[in-house]
Structure 1
Amino acid sequence: MGHLDAGGPDRAITDPEEASSVLEAAYAPNSLLLAGRPAWLELRLKTMRLPLADVGAVRIRGDMRLEAPPPRACCVVLRPRRGGVTISTGRETVRVSPGTLAFLPPAPCFRYADWGPDTELTTLRIDNSVVSAHHPLDAEHMLRPEARPLLVDLRQDGARALAWVMCLLAAEIRRPSGMLTSGPVADHVSGLALSSVLSAAGRDTTMPSSARNRILRRALTLADSQPHAVPSMPELAKSAAVSVRMLQEVFRTELHLTPTTYLRQLRLRRAHEELRRGDSSRTTTEAVAHRWGFTNYGRFARLYRTQYGVNPAATLRQDS
C-alpha cells in the first residue's frame, strides 16, 4: 500500500544542512551549497512509497549546487512541472524543463545547478533490484556502467504514457487520502510507472555501437542457425538478452528496418530456396508459402514477385 512519509507541503526547509539531510533520506547522500546572491533556500518535499518505486514532489526556490555521488543502487527519474535544472556528469550536460524528463542511471556522479526561480519536480526513485526482477531483459542496457543521463521529450509517441503517469503521480501525492492509498491501485500504478519509464528510456539511441552490434549479432546468429525454421521476434530478443522493444530500436538503428520486416524477408528467402529445390509433382506453391508462415497466399505472391521478379509458380516449374 502506498503511504506518505515526509513533511507536508506547509513545511518549508530553509537550512542547507537540514535540506541536505532530507534529500539524502529521500534519494541519496549529497553535498549541497548555496549559490545565489543573496544566498537563500526554500525546500519543500513530500514522498510516497509505492510497491515498485518511491514518488517524490520537490519544490525548490533559491539557487543551490547539489552534487550526489553515484546512486549505484537505484535509477532516478525527474520531471519538472515548472522551472528546471541543469544536470551534468562531467562528460555530459542536460537541461531538464517542463515537457521533458530526465532518466538518471545508477552509475555517474550527478551535479545539479542553475535551478529555475521556482522549480517543482515530480520524481521516481527505482531500485536496481526492481528493474532486474521485473524487467530482466532491460536491466543489461539500462543499468550498464557506461550509461548516461537520458533526456526524454514527453511529446513523443513513446513517452506519452509516461507523461500521463507522471501527471497522475504529481496530483495524487498531494492527496493524503487519494487513490494511491489503496493497495491494488498502488500496485497497478507503480507497475505502469515502471513499464512506462523503461519504455521511454529504452528508446535511448546513445547506446554504444559495440553494444548494438553485439545485440544484433546474437539475434542474427540465431536466425541463421535454423535453416528449416524462422524464429519469432520474442525468440530473437531472448537470444540477444534484451527486450523486444530494445531489439526493435537496434534493428532500426543498425539495419534501418524492423525485426518484423527482417523476419518476413528471411521467411520469403527460405520459401524461395525451397521452391528452387522443389518438385512440382510433389508440392505446391501454396504449401510452401504456408510452411514458411504466409497464410495469405495472395500477399505472399505479391511479395515474391516484388522481390524476385517472377511468380512463385514460375520458380517451382523452372527448377523442377
Structure 2
Amino acid sequence: MPTTLLSRHPQIATADPEQARDEVARRFCPHRLELTRRTGRLDMLHNAAAIGPDVTLNYLRYGDEVRITPGRFDDFFLVQVPISGSARVKVGDRVVASDRVRGSLGSPTEPVDMVWSDGCEQLLVYLRRQAVEELAGGADDPRPVVFDPSMYLETPSLRAWLRLVHLALDDIEAGGALFRSPLAATHFEQTLILGLLAAQPNSSNEAPREPAAGSRVVRTVMGLIDAEPERAWRLAELAGEAGVSARTLQEAFQRELGSSPLEQLRRTRMERARRDLVEADPVHTSVTDIAARWGFFHLGRFSQSYRAMYQELPSQTLAG
C-alpha cells in the first residue's frame, strides 16, 4: 500500500465522525462534518508537521464523501491541494471545483463550505493569519488580506511555490534536519508566505503603494543584520525597525542590492560561517558544528552554497 504524506507524523485516525470533527476542530477551527450518504463510512486520517510557528503541512482524508462547513477561519489561511479525488469548495461567493490541477485557498474573513468526494485526499498548508498579513503590508496596511480562492496549479509561479512545499515535505519525511534550527525554519516559512503572496492574486497586490524607500532604509536593515546575524529575524521585524512595510523593504533591497533582506541575512550567516572555518582548529571542530551554529542544518546544501560563494568546499577552508 502506498505510503501517505507525513506518515511519520500521525495525528488522528478514526471511523467515528464525532471524534474526527472534534480532533480536526482542535487543530483548525470549529466546523460541521457530515457524511453525505446514509450508507457512508468514515475512514479519516490526519497527519501533520509544523515547519515553525507560522506554517503547518497536513495530510487529510475522510474516505467517503463528506460535507465540511467551518464558516470563517478567522486566524489562518488554508491552501488545499487534492492528491486524489476532488472537492467542491465555496469561498465567499466563489465556487472552486478543486482537483489535481486546481487547488483552493480560503482566507480568514471569507466563509467556507465544502464537499470532499469519495476518496479525496488533500495536502493542506496552514498559514497563520498574522504572519501573512505582516509580510503583506503590516501596520501600514491594516486591511485584511483576501486571496483569489481558485489556484490554477499549472502556472509557473504556483508550480515553483509547490516545489518549495514539497522540499519541506521531503525534508520532514527524512527527519526534518532543515528545520531543527529556528533560524532555518523562520527563513523558510517567510519564503513560503512571500512566495504565495507573489504567486496567487490577492488584495495586498492591489493596495495603494507607499513611497519608495531609499538607501537609508537598506543601510539600517543591513546594520541590524550585521549586528545580530544569529537572530531569527522576521521580515516584518526588520521592516518595523526601518519604519516601512515589509513590501517596501523588499522592493528597496531589490532595487539597491538585487536581492531580498532574507537573502542578505543568509549571505551574512555564510560569511560568519567562513570566518569561523578559517579560525577554527580542525582537530577539535567540524564543518557540521560550524554550519549548525549559523543555522545551516542540511550539510549538502550548505556545502554547495559555500562552494558557489567561495570556490572551495568548507572542508577545504577548515583544513587550511
In the superposition, the TM-score normalised over structure 2's length comes to 0.57
Q: 1:86, 1:139 → 2: CA distance?
A: 35
1:256-267 matched pairs, under 5 angstroms:
none
**Contact 2:66/2:117 (<8 A) preserved:** no
What's the C-alpha RMSD, in Å, of the aligned pairs?
A: 3.9
Using the TM superposition, give the Cα deviation of residue 246 of structure 1 relative to its aligned residue in structure 2, in angstroms.
12
- Going from structure 1 to structure 2, the CA distance change for 1:170 and 1:129 (only over 3 Å counts) comes to same
Residue number in structure 1 paired with 2:175: 177
Indicate which of 78, 92, 99 corresponds to 2:101: 99
Using the TM superposition, give the Cα deviation of residue 150 of structure 1 relative to its aligned residue in structure 2, in angstroms.
1.7
Structure 1 counterpart of 2:108, which letter?
P
Structure 2 counterpart of 1:88, which letter?
K
> How many residues in Structure 1 have an aligned counterpart in Structure 2?
221
Q: 1:143, 1:49 → 2: CA distance?
A: 27
Residue number in structure 2 paired with 1:260: none
In structure 2, the gaps of 5 or more residues are 1-5, 218-241, 252-320
Residue number in structure 2 paired with 1:298: none
Instruction: Select the structure of larger CA radius of gyration.
Output: 1
Q: 1:69, 1:59 → 2: CA distance?
A: 20
1:1-320 matched pairs, under 5 angstroms:
7=10, 12-51=13-52, 52-89=54-91, 91-113=93-115, 115-133=116-134, 135-137=135-137, 144=144, 147=146, 149-173=148-172, 175=173, 177-180=175-178, 182-183=180-181, 184-201=183-200, 203-204=201-202, 212=206, 215=208, 243=247
Residue number in structure 2 paired with 1:284: none
Query: The residue matched to 1:107 in structure 2 has which SS?
Result: coil
**Contact 2:91/2:106 (<8 A) preserved:** no
- Going from structure 1 to structure 2, the CA distance change for 1:73 and 1:90 (only over 3 Å counts) comes to closer
The CA deviation string for residues 195-224 of structure 1, in whole angstroms up to 9 with x for no partner, is 2222222x34xx59xx95x72xx66xx69x
Structure 1 counterpart of 2:101, which letter?
G
The CA deviation string for residues 146-189 of structure 1, in whole angstroms up to 9 with x for no partner, is x365212222122122110232344455x272435522543443
In structure 1, the gaps of 5 or more residues are 224-230, 248-320
The CA deviation string for residues 83-111 of structure 1, in whole angstroms up to 9 with x for no partner, is 22111145221112112322211112211
The CA deviation string for residues 56-101 of structure 1, in whole angstroms up to 9 with x for no partner, is 1112310111100211111111111222211114522111211232
Using the TM superposition, give the Cα deviation of residue 4 of structure 1 relative to its aligned residue in structure 2, in angstroms.
9.6
- Going from structure 1 to structure 2, the CA distance change for 1:13 and 1:176 (only over 3 Å counts) comes to farther
In the superposition, the TM-score normalised over structure 1's length comes to 0.57
Percent identity reads 16
